[in-house]
Amino acid sequence: MTTELFQKPDEKFYTDAANYWSEIPATVDGMLGGFGFISQTDIKDSKLLLKQLFNCKNPPGRDHALDCGAGIGRISKFLLTDVFDKVDLVEQNPTFLEQAKRYMGAKLSRIGDFYTEGLQRFRPESKKYDVVWIQWVVGHLTDNDLIDFLVSCQDGLKPNGVIVVKENITSTDEVEMDRQDSSVTRPMRLLRQIFDKANLECYRQAKQRNFPKGLYSVYMFVLKPKKVNDVVEESTNESEIPPAEENGNKEGHDQNEETR
């Protein structure tokens, strides 16, 4: 008799993922499934997104960010510590967080707390963060756990704070299951429904550019708590978001293409 029989389906989904990641090297290549070479391209568009966000009306502060499913801290090192005074990391794999302490080098002084916890259990401290960055990890949460986590992240936000989700999206309208790493890739429609159920408004949506062909499309979503009596804010209009060219970004056109 296997232990599987004693586990609820959700628990197995999480333990299978934890087992998968426990075999993966604590390197950038490991974090990106052998595609370590896309890291710079990824960071470049994320930087542009943050730059545009800080140019908007009522931008978030630059005090404290949270890197969720942080792995060895690739995003904290190359993106978040350049922008925020302090960055906390939450990650389920303790080996990755130990490696993050070495990998961060001089940037370690900008790191605040390390939380070794699955996002299905982790709950951020109230009103602590200007930006909660959640990249390439939401596929490891069930729909309900993702909704609960996103709801809890709103409580973790300071005034004007935002949640950024950067994630693979299926080209079909179907959820695609990866049994090897125990994750799902969701279609855009489902992810937007989940944001809505979590009471989040998608303030901005941008597509990652210049990734190799054959990979999933990757989108960045800037999410804000819906307001009470919400008249959905017309905040994605182009006047608030400078065109990419003004930011010295002439390579592609996708990043500014998407608005609500």
Ligand X SMILES: C[S@@+](CC[C@H](N)C(=O)[O-])C[C@H]1O[C@@H](n2cnc3c(N)ncnc32)[C@H](O)[C@@H]1O
Give the residues lining the site for ligand X (CB under 6 A): 14, 17, 21, 31, 69-71, 74-75, 91-93, 96, 118-120, 135-137, 140
137: helix, coil or strand? Answer: coil
Closer residue to ligand X, CB minimum distance, 216 or 258: 216
Q: Which is nearer to ligand X, 59 or 112 (CB)?
A: 112
Residues 104 and 82: beta-carbon distance below 8 Å: no
**Cα 128-71-104 angle, rounded to 5 deg:** 80
Does residue 120 have a known ligand-binding role? yes
| Alpha-helical segments (H) within the chain | 9-22, 28-31, 39-54, 74-75, 81-83, 94-103, 143-155, 188-197
Residue bearing tokens 């069930």: 142
CB of 112 to ligand X, least distance (A): 17
User: Of the two residues 118 and 124, which places its CB atom closer to ligand X in the complex?
Assistant: 118
Is 208 known as a binding-site position? no
Smallest distance, ligand X to C-beta of residue 30, A: 8
Q: Is 193 annotated as a binding residue?
A: no
Q: How far, in Å, CA of 5 to CA of 88, rounded?
A: 36
Residue 78: CB minimum distance to ligand X, A: 9
The annotated binding site for S-adenosyl-L-methionine is made up of 69, 74, 119-120, 135
The annotated binding site is made up of 69, 74, 119-120, 135
